[in-house]
Structure 1
């Protein structure tokens, strides 16, 4: 039986990075506000563990995105399919990623994809053209994490 998974990405500003990647992938930012209200009312978490982002309560230092067509828990907002979780860590990024995301365009749509990603806050690093084997851009997200647009 195949296992479930989520990709966890260290960050300096989890909500902002979740917003970027939700826009880049056309995913949805998870909304845990119903769960948070229940946890606050029951005294299971304190106000210090919660912040507000775009008018919704979220857990301090965490934000996640999910594929819009995948199932999710109605109470917690947590996706049960393709999902990225961003968690704040105290240290800065210190080297090249050992794992990265490739974002694929529609055929012939690489220029439009790269422009859209730049509009969301990504930066072009270098173009790679290997002829028939492939053509892509190495890019950085707003926190400097490498990814490819192909």
Structure 2
């Protein structure tokens, strides 16, 4: 039986970066509002641990996104399948990522994908053309994390 996993990405502004990646991957931003309200009402969560983003309550410094077709917990909004979790950290990104995401263009061409990602806030770094081995763009998300669009 395969293990369950999620990818954790350090960030400077978790909810904003989650919005970018949800749009880029066509994922859903998790909504923990119901869980947060329960925890607040029961006195198990201090108000200082909560923030608001896009009209939803969130855990301050955290935001998750999930694949729209995967199951998720109705109360917490937490995905039970393909999932990315963003967590704020005090230090800025200083070196190249050791792990990155590749986004494949699917039914649209690469130029259309790259234009869409730029409109969301990504920037192009360099184009790579390896002939028959592949063609892609190295890009950066709004916080400078590298990824590839192929």
> Is 1:91 aligned with 2:79?
no
Aligned-residue offset at 1:106:
2.1
Aligned-residue offset at 1:147:
0.1
Change (3 A) 1:74 1:95: same
SS at the partner of 1:34?
helix
SS at the partner of 1:138?
strand
Which residues of structure 1 form unaligned runs of 5+? none
SS at the partner of 2:132?
helix
- Equivalent residues in 2 for 1:117-128, closer than 5 Å: 117-128=117-128
TM-score, with length taken from structure 2: 0.99
- Spell out structure 1 runs of 4+ moving beyond 6 A: none
Question: Could you list the per-position Cα deviations for residues 67-87 of structure 1 after superposition, in whole angstroms to 9, with x for gaps in the alignment?
Answer: 000000001000000000000
- Which residue does the alignment assign to 1:77? 77
Matches of 1:20 and 1:116, distance apart in 2: 11
SS at the partner of 1:76?
coil
- Which residue does the alignment assign to 1:19? 19
- Which residue does the alignment assign to 1:147? 147
SS at the partner of 1:143?
coil
- Equivalent residues in 2 for 1:107-118, closer than 5 Å: 109-118=109-118
Question: Could you list the per-position Cα deviations for residues 85-133 of structure 1 after superposition, in whole angstroms to 9, with x for gaps in the alignment?
Answer: 0000000001000000000002561000000000000000000000000
SS at the partner of 2:21?
helix
Give the aligned CA root-mean-square deviation in angstroms.
Answer: 0.7
